[in-house]
Amino acid sequence: MKRSLFIIGTLITGILFIFFLSVSVAAEADEKTNIETTKEKKGIVPQPADQKGKEPTESSEASEQNSSPPVSPPIYQPPLRGAPGGRVGGGTRGIEDGVYASQSTIIETDGMACMGYDKSRKQTEQEALANAKKRAAEHAATYIKTESRVKDFELEKDLVEAYSNATVKVIQEMSRAWYRDTSLGECCQVKIKAEVIPDNESMERISKGKGQSEDPSAPLNVQLWTDKKDYKKGDKIKIYIRGNKPFYARILHKGVNGDLLQLLPNPYRPDHYFNGGVIYEIPSGPDRFEMEVTPPFGQENIIVYSSTAPLGEINFAPAGGVYKITTAAEKVGERSRTVSLKEKNPGQQTKAAEFSEGQIVFSTNR
């Protein structure tokens, strides 16, 4: 009996001991949880075991900063410089850097279209003109590839690409005639003189190719430069010009006030034909003028129109040793493009010529 009571008492004591022990552990865990929660609310981040009790060091702060994504600095893009639609070259750097230049092909061709039952006369004429422009692009591409035997494969590829993306501008509608075709009925034929303007980026790559600026088998490349970029009152301006093949040229000066003077040809130097590979100086030789810097000061231009065929006529009047242009300024380029096209070889159907327009800009001041 006594033994049974002893066993029962021992069991009760053990149960009570376990109960009080579990309550104590639970209370300690709750207290720890409350402490951690309080820390988080104050913005204190729990540290790893090996960092507990230590203040954060500069290296740890730096590592946290380095772990964040890097911020890309702003990209500086310099402003574009140069004349609208082109580039400015000055001084003796003109040969290397190039100047504003637009290369193209002037060509004569025709196109036709017939009325049928679904087109008016006006629509037929428009279609004939569109066909003439399409043929102009095709014939110009064939002509330039035949005349310009570019030796470098990549440059030849650029040349093909340039003319496959060409723009066609009608310079002159030479004729428009209606005729009756026995099988097609009423038809219209339009004959035009057009300028085929190749893709500029492709042509720039060609002109920058090694030796292309002097290679006579490359497309016409006429370079223009002055002896300095900036001039002061009393300075004498010298102009230089060189082409990679024989060419005809017209060289103009545009003053600060917009007046146009033709420097070459002039009354005492009527030459308008230039040999390829030769540097020509203006003024020089028989010229009876000097280009001395006088007021008004500002930005001035030298413009050159050149072609492998004689240029179209413009109006001018003698002004001392040069000519004063009387044709409206906006018409000078258009008139110059009406070049005299001739068949290069007997029986050749395509009449075409290479054309180039370039300019340099320089400054004058006191």
* Contacting residues for 360 by C-beta, under 8 A, at least 6 apart: 88, 89, 90, 94, 99, 100, 224, 225, 226, 301, 302
* Domain count within the chain: 1
Residue 68 lies in a domain: no
Residue 284 lies in a domain: yes
H-helix or E-strand spanning residue 104: strand 100-114
Residue 336 lies in a domain: yes
Q: Supply the pLDDT for residue 22.
A: 55
Residue 114 lies in a domain: no
Residue 48 lies in a domain: no
Hey, how many other C-beta atoms are within 10 angstroms of the C-beta on 68?
A: 7
Structure-token pair, residue 282? 């203006």
What are the φ/ψ torsions at residue 93 (nearest 5 degrees)? -70, -10
How many whole angstroms separate alpha carbon 195 and alpha carbon 137?
A: 9
Residue 285 lies in a domain: yes
User: What is the model's pTM?
Assistant: 0.68
| Domain region containing 299 | 213-365
Residue 136 lies in a domain: no
pLDDT (tens digit, 0 to 9) for every residue of the chain, 366 residues total? 555 555 566 666 666 556 555 545 455 545 544 444 433 333 333 333 334 334 444 444 443 444 333 333 222 222 222 222 222 333 222 223 333 458 899 999 999 999 988 899 999 999 999 999 999 999 998 888 777 765 666 667 777 788 888 999 999 999 999 999 998 899 999 999 999 999 887 777 776 666 666 888 888 889 999 998 899 999 999 999 999 999 999 999 999 999 999 999 999 999 899 999 999 999 998 999 999 999 999 999 999 999 999 999 999 999 999 999 999 999 999 999 999 987 665 555 678 999 999 999 999 998
* CATH number of the domain encompassing residue 234: 2.60.40.1930
Residue 132 lies in a domain: no
